Structure 1
Amino acid sequence: MTGILNRGGAPVEPGCEVSVRRCSIALLLGAMLAALLAPAAHAVPAYTEYLDLPALNGDGEYGGGLHPQLPTTQPPLRAALTQARADGIDPARYATLLHQYWLVVATDNAAIDLEAWAPERGVAANSATFSQVYVNYFRLAAARSDLYWAGMAGIAGASFAAGFFDVGDIAGAVSVAGIHELGNAVADLLRATPPELLTGVPSDVTGLAALGPRLTAGDLAWYQTRLMIMQKHIFIDLVPMHEAYLADGLAGIDEMFAAGLLGDGMRVSWNGIDGGTEAGRADALAAMADREQNQIVADQWDVTSRGRDGMGRVLTYVTTVAGKPAVPGTRAPGVYAPVTVWSPIAAGAPLGLRMPLPAFNWADRETRWDYISADLLPRHLDLATDPARAVTVYREPFTVKLDRGRMLARLPDIIADLTTQWQVVPS
């Protein structure tokens, strides 16, 4: 007979089997009841590990997002944010989490792989993303005509991108084209300049003549990396706040303000855009351009200009010589502020040298801002306040804009301008 054994191994009588089973069930129910009545263990909130994180990659120098501990997909970031808000956590404590969330939204909407966006990996790994950044600015501007800065960033950025790819082209033929040819042309013209004028020629011009012909492919690759870092830095700073505003309006901006991600000036700017007035939109354009040039990348331009044993200065000046923002009506830097040098001669009459080269270097923050505020911003306002015309410009294929700005395609004209407009003039 099969039955239940007691602890000693002896069989339990059939009449006792039911009692044993009842005891077992009673013990099980008792254990379950005890578990239910015990104090519940509180789950650690999902956001806890994301509080008080610094933005280690806020300057855009490396791949990925702002901190390696943060996810790079929206769902976990959104869940953590939602819980932190519900628990009344001070936004300053989850600032980097909030910034990362809107950065991921921004890169997703821009079709950019944030993990793969890594300036330190070089040009080949980032060239597609480099163009996609400007395509995204046009997307924002075409969708919302009141986002003036996005439109200007796209148009001027297309010229910037053209210069970026020019550097790559020159690197492949550095002994026969581009900067070597430009430097040699300037050197030849300086040799033909009256000696009494040479002391007044800006150092950027003489540096281009002296160092330009010795440029290496390594110098060019280094410069491209510097440009990619600054591009990512601008995106990290300004595009997330655009996405926060588009998704949540001023409430999104106010949360970023409370977190310390933007200051009073930017808050006023977004209120100006939201107010729907032309004056508010124009002021926001100027404030965002000022933030971009004089806060976000100002120090990085300084570092670039001082780098590579003088070649950084040469390359930033070449950017100035060859660059012309594609905003309609904007003058090339050398037309806006050409170099003119005056020097006395023996007879006492001044002798002048006028050359079609910029009297400033794009890396220098004060003269860069003078050019932007006096020439680029007003011309972009002319365009932006004509929405139908602006949308036509924004929706032109990016590749068309890019090809139109390429320096190598324009190099014969640039050299021709140098040789025909370099003039010694009497008073």
Structure 2
Amino acid sequence: MPRVRGLIRLAGVLTCLMIGLVTAPAAHAESGSSYTAYLDLPSVNGDGAGGGGLNPALPLDPDVLRDALDQARGAGIEPRHYATLLHQYWLTVATRNADIDLATWDPALGVAANTRTFTQVYVNYLRLNNAHPDYWWTGLAGLAGGSFASGFFDMGDVASIISVPGVHQLGNAVADLLRGTPSQLLDILPADIANLGTAGERLTAEDLAWYQTRLMIMQKHIFIDQVPMHEAYAADGLAGVEEMYRAGVLDENAILAWRDIASGTQDGLADAALRMTDREQNQIIADQWDATSHGRGTMGRVMTYVSTVAGKAAVPGVRAPGVFAPVTLTAGGMSLRAPLPDFNWADRDTRWNYITHDLLPRYLELCENPAVARAVLAVPFSTMLVNGRLVQRLPDVLADMTKEWQLTT
């Protein structure tokens, strides 16, 4: 009898082992299925041109993405294989914290559908900086964003606010001034000023709607690139962004910026702000600015130049582009000084020159005085937006153009 009971027990053990062998692969497949489908996915919307996240195969729920991410990590998968999953996770964390609906964030839907989101992006930059004072780049993005957003709304949507008339007024004022300018100077006049005077009056609402869409695409592209890494560092410290670096989401320049921030030194924070600004302007959106300035025939240049004329970041001490680099021409014993910028913000070299020789140095000076910086950065974005509107400044701008357009012979 004992022998029989022993055989029965042995048979039971063998049965359990057999069941385990049969069911173990199925159980592994079930647990793995929530992350294996997300491996090696390309980022097909990283440039911000489309709606939603980076790849339509990925969920938009950060909790679901986190579960899949933890499984991939637990399985020993190399970060490069879950790079887009990792990026999407931090992107959904970023939009959740920014109170932005990623599912409906689609620049192609137009201004009316995106107005709240457009503003909320800059509100969030200031929120990040106020919560993390060592995030110098987000503070700059928030302050410069006031000018950017003001120009966006100045360009007007179909319901709104100024703008084809405002641009026409600016173009007509330039055209009137050009008619009194000698031909020798007109021949060497920057093309953007000549275009504003000759083509500005032909600008249409369709041109402006196209331009606003281009601005919304670039705005989303910057957010997709920059804000997820800021949220990763806020949550997981340097380890969070180092994982993004190992995955290939961040490059050497970006990870050096985060190591600078982790150092906690003033020099490190300043270098990080420079590196992140360089990434934003010269890696993320440089090609998109090129495409925008060459779009819609000459109208791309007209609209980007108007944005340059109107642009002035809410950074104490920063000069408007036309004050930083006014047009000055000399020919045949005659000279012209015009209160207009001799560069277009869409052109990467001259844009970077303005940023590195005026905008960024003034901002870094502000950051060196934390008490003053906190007061400036605590101003509600809605106030910055109103203060930056060209619609309020247009009479003064037109008066200054007439007064400051100085021709000597």
TM-score interval, normalised by the smaller of the two chains: over 0.9
CA deviation profile, 1:154-191 (whole Å, cap 9, x unmatched): 00001100111111169758797210000000000000
Partner letter of residue 28 of structure 2? Answer: A
Q: Are the aligned partners of 2:339 and 2:401 in contact in 1 as well (CA < 8 Å)?
A: yes
The answer to whether the Cα contact below 8 Å between 1:273 and 1:280 also exists between their aligned partners in 2 is yes
Q: Say which of 17, 32, 39 aligns to 2:22.
A: 39
2:222 aligned partner: 234
Matched, 1:398 2:381: yes
Distance in structure 2 (CA, Å) of the matches to 1:242 and 1:250: 10
The answer to whether the Cα contact below 8 Å between 2:164 and 2:204 also exists between their aligned partners in 1 is: no
In the alignment, the residues of structure 2 paired with residue 266 and residue 321 of structure 1 have an alpha-carbon distance, to the nearest angstrom, of 31
3-state DSSP of counterpart to 1:185: helix
Q: Secondary structure at the match of 2:233?
A: helix
Q: Determine the C-alpha separation between the residues in 1 that align with 2:348 and 2:322.
A: 17
Displacement of 1:308 in angstroms is 0.6
Can you list the C-alpha shifts for 1:196-217, whole angstroms capped at 9, x where unaligned? 2110111000000111001100
The residue number in structure 1 matching 2:341 is 358
Amino acid at match of 2:168: H
Among 351, 356, 374, the residue aligned to 1:373: 356
CA contact (8 A) 1:142 1:394 kept: yes
**2:392 matches 1:409:** yes
Instruction: Tell me, in whole angstroms, the C-alpha distance in 1 between the residues paired with 2:126 and 2:57.
Output: 32
Select the residue among 217, 235, 246 that pairs with 1:247: 235
Query: Residue 166 of structure 2 aligns to which amino acid in structure 1?
Result: G
The question of whether the paired residues in 2 share the 8 Å contact of 1:174 and 1:215 is answered with: no
- Which position in structure 1 is the counterpart of 2:78? 90
8 Å contact from structure 1 (residues 170, 179) kept in 2? no
Deviations 1:226-282 (A, max 9, x none): 000000000000110000111001101110000001111111111111101111000
8 Å CA contact 1:170, 1:177 repeated in 2: no
Higher mean alpha-carbon deviation, 258-267 vs 50-59, is at 258-267
Please state whether the residue corresponding to 2:298 is helix, strand or coil: helix
Q: Deviations over 1:91-143 (max 9, x none)?
A: 00000000000000000000000001110100000000000000000001111
Cα deviations across residues 401-422 of structure 1 (Å, max 9, x unaligned)?
A: 1000000110001101110000
- Output the aligned Cα RMSD: 1.8
Runs of at least 5 residues in structure 1 that lack an aligned partner in the other structure: 1-28, 345-349
The equivalent residue for 1:135 is 123
Deviation at 1:36, TM superposition (A): 3.4
Question: Which protein has the larger Cα radius of gyration, Structure 1 or Structure 2?
Answer: 1
Residues 162 and 391 of structure 2 are in contact (CA less than 8 Å); yes or no, is this contact kept in structure 1? Answer: no
| Bigger Cα displacement from structure 2, 69-78 vs 33-42 | 33-42
Once the two structures are TM-superposed, the CA of residue 37 in structure 1 deviates from its matched residue by 5.4
In the alignment, the residues of structure 2 paired with residue 400 and residue 61 of structure 1 have an alpha-carbon distance, to the nearest angstrom, of 29
316, 329, 332: which is aligned to 1:341?
Answer: 329
| TM superposition shift of 1:73 | 0.8
In the alignment, which of 121, 143, 148 is matched to residue 136 of structure 2? 148
3-state SS in 2 of match to 1:52: coil
Q: CA deviation at 1:425?
A: 2.6
**Equivalent pair of 1:298/1:365 in contact (CA under 8 Å):** yes
Q: 1:331 aligns with which of 294, 319, 328?
A: 319
Cα distance in 2 between the residues matched to 1:155 and 1:33:
66
Percent sequence identity over matched residues? 60
Supply the AA of the counterpart residue of 1:50: Y
- After TM superposition, give the deviation of residue 355 of structure 1 in Å: 0.2
What's the TM-score, normalizing by structure 1? Answer: 0.89
Counterpart of 1:54 in 2: which secondary structure?
A: coil
For residues 235 and 38 of structure 1, the distance between their equivalents in structure 2, rounded to whole angstroms, comes to 48
Are the equivalent residues in 2 in contact too, given 1:250–1:274 (CA < 8 A)?
A: yes
Q: Contact 1:174–1:180 at 8 Å: present in 2 too?
A: no
Name which of structure 1's ranges 165-174 and 146-155 shifts more when overlaid on structure 2.
165-174
Q: Kindly state the Cα deviation for residue 329 of structure 1 after the two structures are TM-superposed.
A: 0.6
AA at the equivalent of 1:72:
L
Structure 2 Cα separation of the partners of residues 127 and 343 of structure 1: 47
Letter in 2 for 1:265: N
Counterpart of 1:193 in 2: which secondary structure? coil
**Match of residue 204 from structure 1:** 192
Runs of 4+ in 1 over 3 A off after TM superposition: 32-38, 169-176
Give the AA of the match of 2:347: D
2: CA distance between counterparts of 1:399 and 1:299? 30
For 1:4, the equivalent position in structure 2 comes to none
In 1: Cα distance, 2:163 partner to 2:373 partner: 41
Flag the 1:423–1:35 CA change in 2: closer, same or farther, 3 A.
Answer: same
Aligned to 2:408: 425
Residues 171, 217 of structure 1: 8 Å contact kept:
no
Measured after TM superposition, the shift of residue 359 of structure 1 is: 0.2
Displacement of 1:43 after TM fit?
A: 3.1
C-alpha distance in structure 2 between counterparts of 1:59 and 1:382, whole Å: 32
Give unmatched runs, 5+ long, in structure 2: 1-11
Partner of 2:175: 187
Does the 8 A contact of 2:310 with 2:390 survive in 1? yes
3-state secondary structure, aligned to 1:50: coil
The answer to whether the 8 Å contact 2:49/2:108 transfers is: yes
Distance 1:374 1:276, change over 3 A: same
Count of residues paired in the alignment: 393
Structure 1 or 2: larger helix share?
A: 2
Looking at structure 1, the residues matched to 20 and 158 of structure 2 have their Cα atoms a distance apart, in angstroms, of: 76
